[in-house]
Amino acid sequence: MKRIEAVNDFVVKFANVNGSGSASANTLFAKAIMRMGVPVSPRNIFPSNIQGLPTWYEVRVSESGWLGRRGGADLMVAMNPQTWEKDVVEIEPGGYLFYDSTKPLPADKFRDDILVIGMPLTEICNATYSDPRQRQLFKNIIYVGALAALLDMDIAEVEKLVGEQYKGKEKLLEPNVKALHLGRDYALAHLPCPLGITVRRSDKVGDKIFIEGNNATALGAVYGGATVCAWYPITPSSSVAEAFARHCKKFRVDAASGKNNVAIVQTEDELASIGMVIGAAWNGSRAFTCTSGPGVSLMTEFIGLAYFAEIPAVIVNVQRAGPSTGMPTRTQQADILSCAYASHGDTKHVLLLPQDAKEAFEFTAASLDLADRLQTPVFVMTDLDIGMNERLCDPLEWDDSRTFDRGKVLTHDDLESGKRFGRYLDVDDDGITYRTYPGTHEKRGSFFTRGTSRDRYARYTEEGSAYVDNMQRLLRKFETAKQYVPEPVVLESPRPARHGVIYYGSTACAMDEALSELGAEGIAIDALRVRAFPFQDSVIDFVNAHEHVFVVEQNRDGQLRTLLLSEGALDPSRLSAVLHYDGTPITARFIRREIEERLSAFNVRPLRRTAAAGE
Amino acid sequence: MTYLAKPKLHHPDLPANALGFTRRDYEGTISTLCAGCGHDSISAAIIQACWELAIQPHRVAKLSGIGCSSKTPTYFLDKSHGFNSVHGRMPSVLTGANLANRDLIYLGVSGDGDSASIGVGQFAHVMRRGVNMTYIVENNGVYGLTKGQFSATADRGSKSKRGAVNTDEGIDLACLALQLGATYVARSFSGDKEQLVPLIKGALTHPGAAFIDVISPCVAFNNHDGSTRSYDYVRHHNEAVNRLDVITVHKEITTEYAPGEVQEVRQHDGSLLRLRKLAHDYDSSSRISAMSYVQSRYAHGEIVTGLLYVEPDATDLHESLGTTSVPLNQLGEKELCPGEAALARFNASLR
């Protein structure tokens, strides 16, 4: 049997029991590879559970820097008897299985096309430690030490990381380093080190940072000037609010008074979260909430109010697999339509679609400007894959000359100088009207905010013409939004292409790889990454410039495709949906296979002839 | 009620307050509620209270939910910003507004359907958080705008206009507010302006969560025999435990009272709440005895009114959160944005 041989290009998958302390050991492993200058992309695949159920950590090592999920595993670290069978099946032929051999397993539990590496981890731990918790925790560190030897990793990098982790807690440092060496020494003495797959020092990481998307989103809210955060715990978005609180402890405590330049409230439900955001933004604060699909469902009545009464609101939606409770710890892009058209009546909302942590930071900061500029709800649509995994991305950037765009707000002086004020009066002909904050002026500028219909001076009316006038202006405002939201990113094929592909969000990392592979096979295809809704004309033009366009998404119904069709008035036969929605992140393998198959089908029976045959 | 516009001219002899404003300066547009609606009396009491306290109208933010009562903010303080929000969700909008600018006065107006039925959750949590506000429920036990359905404050056994008997237990919002930590809790009757105006003044000067349950009969749907929210029923069963005088810092205190007759509470802002006792065994400084008293009188069919409870050392949500004394909506880039250098350090920590 031929073993897999690879340097800096393989997948290690850890199968663990939730709550066993494996997460920090596995992260240590991934980070050590990154410190060796080799791009690495880990993913947590975890259950909706605190202790006992199976959890996996998948580490893709890729010298080429591909950050998408690859699929399959070259080395399985099988630490969970519950999932043993499935885990063993998942190993690529010629791959490797590392397991705890303390308890002997019958031969039929293994495969003969893989290399099996047994290490008596429990036995070693029991011999070294007497405390049961230590036996459990150090077992994880011991296998990291063993893997470092098996993969020929630089143990100094692992040690350095452990040193950073336990800085100031020297009592914990020493036993951890000891455990690391215990594992490494055993492996060097008893196991076939190194394996066919190894890590070799490289320089492909550069100045990239390793960050969870939710952390970057939270920092974006700090930089964007959010002063009110109201949230309700829901996976996978809770860590946005928690990270925001952490960042605020560092960046938002007034040095002189020790008081907070921020208010963070954990609310009783998502209705209250969005209500507080709307109240705060109405009163001139920048405010946001973070949630996931079920939370948005609860918020929809309020979102309609904010749309109609024209109040800024930022909603970060870290999407997960629905409908209903769905798969709360699995990723999807399945809230595109429910957010774009959230609430009853005719509504449309601005969506921002970041591809990674860096854009999550940028778009969240920008969303606070956009919400103020457009006086409407703005959704930042990330997902679990972006939000809850540490990923390499370019360093975050900020320009100190940048100021907050507070939009059209009349000040005391404006009102005093006699500037005409009609809350819903479109003086600039862009659909965006002027507002005033409560308490601005003794005599002028007050108005009544309401979800009921009103005239241009905010006076209640049920007059049909006034209602239509207002609804038409809201459409003009949505048109204006196109010039403010992030432009799409176009990747043109080096050769003229008849076909195109549209994608967005967390699909980007898999798509980059798929495009590279398709290009290497000589398939010419142009690509466009949508970064916002409303769609700019360039998005629709892209579709019209190609015979056929694939829309790649992580949901069942092709939601962005539907949005493109209805908003761009496009011919449905020109857009074909490439859909992956089992809750795992989409892979380059999947995208490439789908596109190849469909393209070859086109070549056999070109579109026009098929249509003619059908008549 | 009427579509006649209010005359813009003021009577030249209308008395002015310390700011030089007359009561007319605290009015809003003309009410569109039914003639005789208790809610209009409450609006008038709010106008009177704000005028007497010489509050700057534009420093008040008035918020409401949905329903007859929630329409009323249009009928007072037209120099104030108003927000007629979502049914049952005024408390969260008010909380958010309060977080954004702690310097304004927040007046929430709601009804029994809005606060006790659809909004009981938000009602409970806004009290728990101790948001600095005056929260008035105009309580008529019935849905007016949808024509006469029972609300959650309707007493068990009370009869609707069509003769249906309410079989569900009624919610006493004042007791709920007491249990949930409101620091100023009162009950009054829209027909008793003498009692209501000082209670609103006390609430407006109170530096924490102030709640007033105002029984406000619905002349269209809940003013008949068998209703426990009719004018007649409330007049006959109203048991006032005290009379309140609110003495602001600027006023000299002259009146003298015999010992035991008066209970005084000095608030943070220096204002003095002087309670003239009507029920001698009533102690408005004890949350627990207030709950017990109100409940035991209710068992006898009586509606206890007055200032039920006040906490002199009240604190609010801003204090709990440790927020800066500067309104958050006035902070700019300098206070809020950590800038490039901090970001470079952040990046460095992630390599």
Instruction: Kindly identify which residue of chain A lies nearest to residue B59, measuring between CA atoms.
Output: A439
Backbone φ and ψ of B228, nearest 5°:
-100, 15
> What CATH code is carried by the domain that includes residue A352?
3.40.50.970
Tokens of A596: 């190849």
Judged by DSSP in three states, A568 sits in helix
Tokens of B49: 């209270």
Claim to verify: residue A260 and residue A341 sit in the same structural domain: yes
User: Could you tell me what percentage of chain B is helix, strand and coil, using 3-state DSSP and rounding each to the nearest 5?
Assistant: 35, 20, 45
Judged by DSSP in three states, A21 sits in coil
Residue A530 and residue A549: Cα distance in Å, rounded?
Answer: 13
Residue A321 and residue A319: Cα distance in Å, rounded?
Answer: 7
| Per-residue pLDDT, B32 | 93
Q: Which of residues 203-222 of A touch B (CB under 8 A)?
A: 205, 207-211, 219, 222
Residue A174 clears pLDDT 60, i.e. is over it = yes
| Per-residue pLDDT, B3 | 57
Q: Which of residues 146-205 of A touch B (CB under 8 A)?
A: 205
**What integer is the mean pLDDT of A582-606?**
87
Contact B336 A398 (CB under 8 A): no
Claim to verify: residue A35 and residue A100 sit in the same structural domain: yes
Residue B33 and residue B217: Cα distance in Å, rounded?
Answer: 12
Nearest partner of A11 among A56, A69, A53, A50, judged by Cα? A69
Nearest partner of A266 among B317, B181, B103, judged by Cα? B317
CA angle A424, A430, A434 (to 5 degrees): 35
| Per-residue pLDDT, A170 | 87
Tokens of A573: 């036969």
Q: Which member of A230, A251, A443 has the closest CB to residue B96?
A: A230
Judged by DSSP in three states, A450 sits in strand
Type of residue at B118? I
Q: What digits encode the pLDDT tens for the residues A398-441? A: 999 999 999 999 999 999 999 999 999 999 999 999 999 999 99
Nearest partner of A114 among A80, A147, A87, A143, judged by Cα? A87
Residue A601 clears pLDDT 90, i.e. is over it = no
Q: Which member of A211, A273, A403 has the closest CB to residue B350?
A: A211
Claim to verify: residue A356 and residue A417 sit in the same structural domain: no
| Per-residue pLDDT, A8 | 98
Instruction: Kindly identify which residue of chain B lies nearest to residue A358, measuring between CA atoms.
Output: B347
| Per-residue pLDDT, A156 | 97
Residue among A204, A211, A276, A392 with most chain B CBs within 10 A, to mutate: A276
B335 chain-A contacts, CB cut-off 8 A: 254, 261
Contact B96 A282 (CB under 8 A): yes
Q: Which helix (H) or strand (E) holds A543?
A: helix A537-544
CA angle B64, B69, B73 (to 5 degrees): 55
Residue A203 counted as domain residue: no
Claim to verify: residue A553 and residue A607 sit in the same structural domain: yes
A147 or A48, greater pLDDT: A147
Contact B323 A254 (CB under 8 A): no
Residue B250 clears pLDDT 80, i.e. is over it = no
Instruction: Kindly identify which residue of chain B lies nearest to residue A206, measuring between CA atoms.
Output: B351
Residue B280 and residue B260: Cα distance in Å, rounded?
Answer: 8
B85 chain-A contacts, CB cut-off 8 A: 275, 278-279, 305, 449, 451
Count of other CB atoms within 10 angstroms of residue A534: 19
Q: What digits encode the pLDDT tens for the residues B103-121? A: 999 999 999 999 999 999 9
pLDDT class of B263 with cuts at 50, 70, 90: confident
Percentage of residues in chain A having pLDDT higher than 70: 98
Residue A205 counted as domain residue: no
Assign a CATH topology to domain B23-333.
Rossmann fold (3.40.50)
Contact A400 B342 (CB under 8 A): no
Residue B299 and residue B318: Cα distance in Å, rounded?
Answer: 38
**What integer is the mean pLDDT of A325-347?**
97
Q: Which member of A268, A278, A398 has the closest CB to residue B343?
A: A398
Report CA-CA distances (Å) from A83 to A27, A87, A289, B281.
21, 6, 37, 70
* Residue finishing a domain among A393, A423, A453: A393
Residue A97 counted as domain residue: yes
| Per-residue pLDDT, B253 | 55
Tokens of A299: 């918020």
Claim to verify: residue A437 and residue A378 sit in the same structural domain: no
| Per-residue pLDDT, B265 | 87
Range name among A7-16, A68-77, B253-262, B303-312 with the lowest pLDDT average: B253-262
Residue A354 and residue A362: Cα distance in Å, rounded?
Answer: 8
Range name among A380-394, B74-88, B242-256 with the lowest pLDDT average: B242-256
Count of other CB atoms within 10 angstroms of residue A95: 24
B79 chain-A contacts, CB cut-off 8 A: 442-443, 446
Contact A261 B92 (CB under 8 A): no
Contact A460 B74 (CB under 8 A): yes
Residue A119 and residue A327: Cα distance in Å, rounded?
Answer: 35
| Per-residue pLDDT, A615 | 36
**What integer is the mean pLDDT of B306-325?**
96
Q: Which member of A205, A269, A448 has the closest CB to residue B82?
A: A448
Q: What is the 3-state secondary structure (H, E, C) of B176-202?
A: HHHHCCCCEEEEEECCCHHHHHHHHHH
Claim to verify: residue A364 and residue A510 sit in the same structural domain: no
Q: Which helix (H) or strand (E) holds A366?
A: helix A357-374
**Average pLDDT of every residue of chain B:** 93
A205 chain-B contacts, CB cut-off 8 A: 351
Residue A610 clears pLDDT 60, i.e. is over it = no
Residue B168 clears pLDDT 90, i.e. is over it = yes
Q: Are A304 and A342 contacting, i.e. CB atoms less than 8 angstroms apart?
A: yes
Q: Are A304 and A450 contacting, i.e. CB atoms less than 8 angstroms apart?
A: no
Percentage of residues in chain A having pLDDT higher than 90: 94
Contact B83 A443 (CB under 8 A): no
**What integer is the mean pLDDT of A214-232?**
98
Instruction: Measure in Å the smallest separation between the Cα of B115 and chain A Cα atoms.
Output: 14
Residue B4 clears pLDDT 70, i.e. is over it = no
Residue A608 clears pLDDT 60, i.e. is over it = no
Answer whether A590 touches B (CB < 8 Å): no
Residue among A38, A165, A227 with most chain B CBs within 10 A, to mutate: A227
B312 or A61, greater pLDDT: A61
| Per-residue pLDDT, B269 | 80
> What CATH code is carried by the domain that includes residue A108?
3.40.920.10
Claim to verify: residue A383 and residue A415 sit in the same structural domain: no
Range name among A376-385, A595-604, B239-248 with the lowest pLDDT average: A595-604
Helices (H) and strands (E) in chain B, counts: 12, 13
In terms of C-beta density within 10 A (0-12 exposed, 13-18 middle, 19 or more buried), how is residue A307 classed? buried
Report CA-CA distances (Å) from A419 to A414, A458, A477, B349.
6, 17, 22, 49
A282 chain-B contacts, CB cut-off 8 A: 83, 93, 96-97, 100
Contact A251 B342 (CB under 8 A): yes
Tokens of A176: 């951890």
Residue B304 and residue B174: Cα distance in Å, rounded?
Answer: 10
Domain that holds residue A71: 6-198
Q: What digits encode the pLDDT tens for the residues A233-291? A: 999 999 999 999 999 999 999 999 999 999 999 999 999 999 999 999 999 999 999 99
Claim to verify: residue A325 and residue A448 sit in the same structural domain: no
Q: What digits encode the pLDDT tens for the residues B27-68? A: 999 999 999 999 999 999 999 999 999 999 999 999 999 999
Contact A267 B350 (CB under 8 A): no
| Per-residue pLDDT, B257 | 66
Q: Do strands A287-291 and A313-319 pair parallel, antiparallel, or not at all (unpaired)? A: parallel
pLDDT class of A3 with cuts at 50, 70, 90: very high
| Per-residue pLDDT, B256 | 64
Q: Which member of B83, B336, B342 has the closest CB to residue A282?
A: B83
Q: Which helix (H) or strand (E) holds A76?
A: strand A73-78
**Average pLDDT of every residue of chain A:** 95
Total structural domains in chain A?
4
**What integer is the mean pLDDT of A68-96?**
96
| Per-residue pLDDT, A612 | 43
Judged by DSSP in three states, A139 sits in helix
Judged by DSSP in three states, B270 sits in coil
Q: Are B108 and B122 contacting, i.e. CB atoms less than 8 angstroms apart?
A: no
Residue A400 counted as domain residue: no
DSSP A535: P
Percentage of residues in chain B having pLDDT higher than 70: 95
Nearest partner of B202 among B104, B291, B108, B271, judged by Cα? B271
Claim to verify: residue A194 and residue A296 sit in the same structural domain: no
Q: Are A232 and A273 contacting, i.e. CB atoms less than 8 angstroms apart?
A: yes
Residue among B27, B74, B95 with most chain A CBs within 10 A, to mutate: B95
Cis peptide before B327 (omega within 30 of 0): no
* Residue finishing a domain among A485, A506, A536: A485
Contact A280 B97 (CB under 8 A): yes
Claim to verify: residue A231 and residue A177 sit in the same structural domain: no
Residue A284 and residue A453: Cα distance in Å, rounded?
Answer: 23
Residue among A446, A461, A462 with most chain B CBs within 10 A, to mutate: A446
Q: Are A69 and A20 contacting, i.e. CB atoms less than 8 angstroms apart?
A: no
Q: Which member of B97, B321, B351 has the closest CB to residue A279?
A: B97
| Per-residue pLDDT, B8 | 74
Contact A275 B96 (CB under 8 A): yes
* Alpha helical stretches, state H, A435-558: 464-481, 508-520, 537-544
| Per-residue pLDDT, A607 | 42
Residue among B24, B132, B324, B347 with most chain A CBs within 10 A, to mutate: B324
Claim to verify: residue A415 and residue A526 sit in the same structural domain: no
Percentage of residues in chain B having pLDDT higher than 90: 84
| Per-residue pLDDT, B59 | 97
Backbone φ and ψ of A47, nearest 5°:
-90, 170
Instruction: Measure in Å the smallest separation between the Cα of A273 and chain B Cα atoms.
Output: 7
Q: What digits encode the pLDDT tens for the residues A259-268? A: 999 999 999 9
Residue A606 clears pLDDT 50, i.e. is over it = no
pLDDT class of A129 with cuts at 50, 70, 90: very high
Contact A208 B91 (CB under 8 A): no
Claim to verify: residue A250 and residue A380 sit in the same structural domain: yes
Nearest partner of A458 among A505, A494, A422, A412, judged by Cα? A422
B61 chain-A contacts, CB cut-off 8 A: 283, 438-439
Residue among B323, B334, B345 with most chain A CBs within 10 A, to mutate: B323
